[in-house]
Amino acid sequence: MFLEKGYWPVLHVQHVYTNTQSRFHESQGQDFKDGFQPYPSEPVFQKIVNSAFIRTNLESYLRDKRIDKLVIAGFNLPHCVSTTTRMAANLGFKTSLISDATASFAYPI
C-alpha cells in the first residue's frame, strides 16, 4: 500500500523504563537522540519489554495499514532489536535487519 504511493513509512519504537533505578529511566533521560526524533507524522510505539510487539498496538497498526514488509534498524541489537526482529518474522512479516544501522553497548557483569 505505502510502496504504491512511492514512500516507506517510518515508525519509531521507544523503550520506556519503569525501573526508577535504571540509568535509562525517564528521570535519567530516555528521549530520542538528536537527529533521530520522529517527525510529527511518524508514529511512536512505546514499549516496556524487549519486544516492540508485546503490550503495544504495533502489530495491529501494521496489519491495519496492510504493511507486511519491515526494515529494522535500532539500538540495542542483542536485546530489543533482535527480539523485535525475530518476533516480527514469527508473526509472518517479511523482515530485514540492517546490520550497519544497529548498535549496542557493553553490559556490566
Domain regions of the chain by residue span: 10-103
Q: What are the tens digits of pLDDT across the range 24-76?
A: 666 555 778 888 899 999 999 999 888 999 999 999 999 999 999 999 998 88
Q: Residue 21: which pLDDT band, with cuts at 50, 70 and 90?
A: confident
The three grid cell numbers given for residue 68, joined into one nine-digit string: 507486511
The amino acid at 77: L
Q: Answer yes or no: CATH 3.40.50.850 is held by domain 10-103.
A: yes
Q: Model-level pTM?
A: 0.82
Say what percent of the chain tops pLDDT 70: 84
Residue 13 backbone dihedrals phi, psi, to 5 degrees: -120, 130
Q: What is the spatial distance between Cα 18 and Cα 106, in angstroms, rounded to a whole number?
A: 21
Rg (CA), the chain: 14
